């Protein structure tokens, strides 16, 4: 009881010392009320021995902090509490006997410890809550951005298709109306140039459409019996001329599983393998080597495409599979789809990944890093499920003779 009386005794001195710390007059006025409430609760806590009596006021103070203070992670309350309790101690030393001030010190110490711990925990929780809210907001913004990027690709691709078709149509009409002779053969040369250009543009537009299909989970697969070795041979045939021109050594090693009939979308898988092999060609200097190998795993067949090219930095191993994930300086790349370091919009690998994943497979890359001098090379792994049975009744009906022939 004495302690309470002693505490009451020092209240005016404490109030004046604490409020003189508050520089701003206006704040001082409104804060006196709050300080009195604090002191009342402190008295109650000291009397009852329950330090938690201050909690409600502390929570009020914490939640009245401005957003800026929270954003800047200013820990405002614990230092203020330190001041409050220190001034109680100093005031009691100045006004009371040594015995009385020691008693007060003994009574307020547990309240002080509890108050500082409590406010620190509450403030950290508030920071965590604030950061979580910010993260959620950032995620929503990112998702919205991603969506508008995807919408833009889809709209742009469809808008580009119409004028492209017009250019192709008029170019072939020009050829038809030109009289036979010198002029026609000269025009033919120019028209071939236009055709090559529009062809490349069409490929890019088709890639953009594929990316938006994959983005929106709209890629539908036409399952049919396929053989990986046949697909790979087709890719090799399509790229033979380039491989020759670039003096590359291209080898497909027969591997277990590559000659087995599996169900997959032949056209899409062809596109996926062509993308990876074309990249192998593109990022390997003339005279280099590209090898296709593989192995059979339980339930899966793995195709491994290795090149002796410039390699890929470890931190880019995931990024290259994201749309527009081309790395390096765009202006330094040469143009042309199969030239060394030839340009491209950076959509090939995201499409390949989308196709492989739609089949229930995965794709990843291994490379010791990017080095144009030492050429560490890259190895792409493509894991496809060994789907021996048709995925649905319609496909089963269509290919029954083949499936039963394969079982025999």
Q: Using CB under 6 A, list all residues that contact ligand ADP.
A: 275, 279-280, 283, 307, 309-312, 320, 325-328, 344-349, 378
Ordered strands of the 289-297 beta sheet? 249-252, 289-297, 300-307, 378-385, 362-366
CA distance 380 to 97: 82
CA distance 391 to 21: 77
Q: How far is the CB of 320 from ligand ADP (least distance, A)?
A: 4
CA distance 191 to 174: 9
Q: How far is the CB of 293 from ligand ADP (least distance, A)?
A: 15
Q: Which is nearer to ligand ADP, 64 or 329 (CB)?
A: 329
Q: Which is nearer to ligand ADP, 287 or 328 (CB)?
A: 328
Q: Which is nearer to ligand ADP, 101 or 284 (CB)?
A: 284
> Which residue do the tokens 């004046």 mark?
16
Phi-psi region of 10 (alpha: psi -120 to 50; beta: other; left: phi over 0): alpha
Q: Which is nearer to ligand ADP, 123 or 307 (CB)?
A: 307
Q: How far is the CB of 173 from ligand ADP (least distance, A)?
A: 32
Q: Which is nearer to ligand ADP, 171 or 277 (CB)?
A: 277
- Residue of closest CB approach to ligand ADP: 344
Q: How far is the CB of 370 from ligand ADP (least distance, A)?
A: 7
**Contact present, 296 and 386 (Cβ < 8 Å):** yes
Q: Which is nearer to ligand ADP, 292 or 310 (CB)?
A: 310
CA distance 359 to 209: 19
Q: Which is nearer to ligand ADP, 345 or 391 (CB)?
A: 345
Nearest 5°: the CA angle 51, 52, 57 is: 110
Report which DSSP code applies to 53. G
Q: How far is the CB of 301 from ligand ADP (least distance, A)?
A: 21
Q: Which is nearer to ligand ADP, 274 or 359 (CB)?
A: 274
Consecutive H or E run containing 208: helix 182-215
Nearest Cα residue to 226 out of 235, 214, 217: 235
Q: How far is the CB of 376 from ligand ADP (least distance, A)?
A: 10
Q: How far is the CB of 257 from ligand ADP (least distance, A)?
A: 23
Q: How far is the CB of 216 from ligand ADP (least distance, A)?
A: 19
Nearest 5°: the CA angle 91, 94, 98 is: 105
CA distance 103 to 318: 65
């Amino acid at each position: 009881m004495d302690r309470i009386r002693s505490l009451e005794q020092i209240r005016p001195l404490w109030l004046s010392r604490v409020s003189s710390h508050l520089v701003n007059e206006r704040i001082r006025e409104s804060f006196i009320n709050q300080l009195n409430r604090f002191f009342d609760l402190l008295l109650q806590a000291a009397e009852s021995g329950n330090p938690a009596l201050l909690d409600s006021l502390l929570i009020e103070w914490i939640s009245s902090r401005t957003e800026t203070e929270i954003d800047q992670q200013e820990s405002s309350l614990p230092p203020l509490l330190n001041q409050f309790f220190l001034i109680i101690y100093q005031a009691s030393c100045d006004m009371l006997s040594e015995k009385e001030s020691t008693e007060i010190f003994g009574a307020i110490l547990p309240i002080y410890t509890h108050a500082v711990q409590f406010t620190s925990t509450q403030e950290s929780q508030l920071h965590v809550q604030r950061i979580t809210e910010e993260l959620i907001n950032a995620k929503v913004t990112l998702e919205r951005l991603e969506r508008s990027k995807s919408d833009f690709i889809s709209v742009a691709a469809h808008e580009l298709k119409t004028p492209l078709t017009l250019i192709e149509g008029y170019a072939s009409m020009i050829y038809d109306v030109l009289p036979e002779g010198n002029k026609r053969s000269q025009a033919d040369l120019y028209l071939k140039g236009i055709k090559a250009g529009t062809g490349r543009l069409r490929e890019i537009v088709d890639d953009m459409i594929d990316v938006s299909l994959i983005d929106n989970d709209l890629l539908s697969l036409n399952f049919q019996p396929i053989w990986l070795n046949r697909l790979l041979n087709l890719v090799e045939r399509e790229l033979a001329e380039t491989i020759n021109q670039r003096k590359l050594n291209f080898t497909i090693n027969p591997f277990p599983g590559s000659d087995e009939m599996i169900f997959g979308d032949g056209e899409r898988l062809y596109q996926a393998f062509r993308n990876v092999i074309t990249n192998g060609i593109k990022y390997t200097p003339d005279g280099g080597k590209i090898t296709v190998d593989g192995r059979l795993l339980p339930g899966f067949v793995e195709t491994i495409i290795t090149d002796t090219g410039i390699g890929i930095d470890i931190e880019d191993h995931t990024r290259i599979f994201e749309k527009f994930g081309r790395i390096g300086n765009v202006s330094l790349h040469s143009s042309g789809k199969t030239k060394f370091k030839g340009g491209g919009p950076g959509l090939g690998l995201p499409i390949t990944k989308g196709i492989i994943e739609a089949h229930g497979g995965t794709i990843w890359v291994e490379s010791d890093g990017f080095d144009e001098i030492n050429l560490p090379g890259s190895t792409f792994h493509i894991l496809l499920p060994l789907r021996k049975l048709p995925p649905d009744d319609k496909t089963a009906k269509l290919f029954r003779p083949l499936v039963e022939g394969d079982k025999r």
